[in-house]
Amino acid sequence: MACTNCSTGAKDGTPKGCKNKGTCGTDSCNKLTVFDWLSNMSLPGGQKPFDAVEIRFKNGRKEFYRNTENLSLSIGDIVATEASPGHDVGLVSLTGELVKIQMKKKGENPEGDLKKIYRKATQKDIDIWTTCREKEEKIKVKAREIAIQLKLEMKISDIEYQGDGSTATFYYTANDRVDFRQLIKEFAREFSIRVEMKQVGFRQEAS
């Protein structure tokens, strides 16, 4: 998915305003973002900036990561983050003290264990990530066909590749519990990737 799928983009596929040329994943233009009203404030002498960072992924999914390497990060930077296994790629959406406020708001311990930010994304990281994102729609169509062939009462609503291309999460909706063990085997064979399944509600699918 790129700017050709963005409802705020021009018909020729160029972004009207964000200038990210598709790396935003078409998930930020229509999403509410948190304004960093603390960004211009200086910390008291000797106080280190809060080392957790909020990272945004596809469809506005956000997670917190620890900046253990003390990287100089700004909102919009593309970073490679810890995953299990491998690494993911996302965009910095919030830094500094406001991250601590957001974590408390979401019931997370600001001092708790978090996955790490490995590095600012290299061009190779970005190229792999972009290639994976471009494959998602085609794979979603094929995944739906396989689910129908197996006569499973479910719908594949979206697919999200991990940034390194090693894993894909298949989001699905279903009224009842689904035994998708055979489906996972078929997906792994067809797409040559590690498969994860995640059920979402019908309301989440509509959004």
Domain interval for residue 65: 39-121
Look at residue 118 in the predicted model and tell me its pLDDT: 98
Global pTM value: 0.77
User: Do 131 and 117 share a structural domain?
Assistant: no
pLDDT at 200 over 60: yes
User: Do 117 and 85 share a structural domain?
Assistant: yes
- The arithmetic mean of pLDDT across residues 9-24, rounded, is 49
User: Do 73 and 16 share a structural domain?
Assistant: no
Q: Tell me: the pLDDT tens digits for 119-178?
A: 999 999 999 999 999 999 999 999 999 999 999 999 999 999 999 999 999 999 999 999
pLDDT at 9 over 80: no
Q: Which of 81, 63, 92, 62 is CA-nearest to residue 162? A: 81
Mean pLDDT of the chain: 85
pLDDT at 5 over 50: no
Q: Tokens 């020729």, residue?
A: 12
Look at residue 201 in the predicted model and tell me its pLDDT: 86
User: Do 146 and 197 share a structural domain?
Assistant: yes
User: Do 44 and 24 share a structural domain?
Assistant: no
Q: What angle in degrees, to the nearest 10, is found between the helix axes of 123-149 and 181-191?
A: 130
Give the contacts of 36 (CB within 8 A, at least 6 positions apart): 75, 94, 95, 96, 98
